[in-house]
Amino acid sequence: MKKLLVCLLVFSLYLSCKNESSSDIKNESETTTSTSKVETAEFAIIIHGGAGTILKKNMTPEKEAAYKAKLEEAIRVGYNILKDGGSSLDAVEKTINVLEDSPFFNAGKGAVFTNAETNELDASIMDGKTLNAGASAGTTTVRNPINLARAVMERSKHVMLSGKGAEIFAKEQGLTLVDPSYFHTENRLESLKRVKEREAQKTNKIDTESAYLDFYDADIKDSKFGTVGCAALDKNGNLAAGTSTGGMTNKRYGRIGDAPIIGSGTYANNATCAVSSTGWGEYFIRAQVAHDISALMEYKGLSLKDAAKIVLDKVKTLGGDGGIVAVDKNGNMVADFNTAGMYRATMNDKGELTIGIYEN
- In terms of Cα–Cα distance, which of 153, 154, 151, 181 is closest to 167? 151
- Which of the residues 95, 114, 141, 227 is marked catalytic? 227
Q: Is 36 exposed, middle or buried (0-12, 13-18, 19+ CB in 10 A)?
A: exposed
Residue 235 burial (C-beta neighbours within 10 Å; 0-12, 13-18, 19+): middle
Report the alpha-carbon distance of residue 88 to residue 91 in Å, rounded.
Answer: 5
Say if residues 290 and 263 touch (Cβ distance below 8 Å).
yes
Tell me, yes or no, if 203 is annotated catalytic: no
Residue 124 CA to residue 173 CA, distance in Å, equals 17
**63 contacts: CB under 8 Å, gap ≥ 6:** none
Q: How many Å apart are CA 291 and CA 253, to the nearest integer?
A: 27
Catalytic positions, please?
227
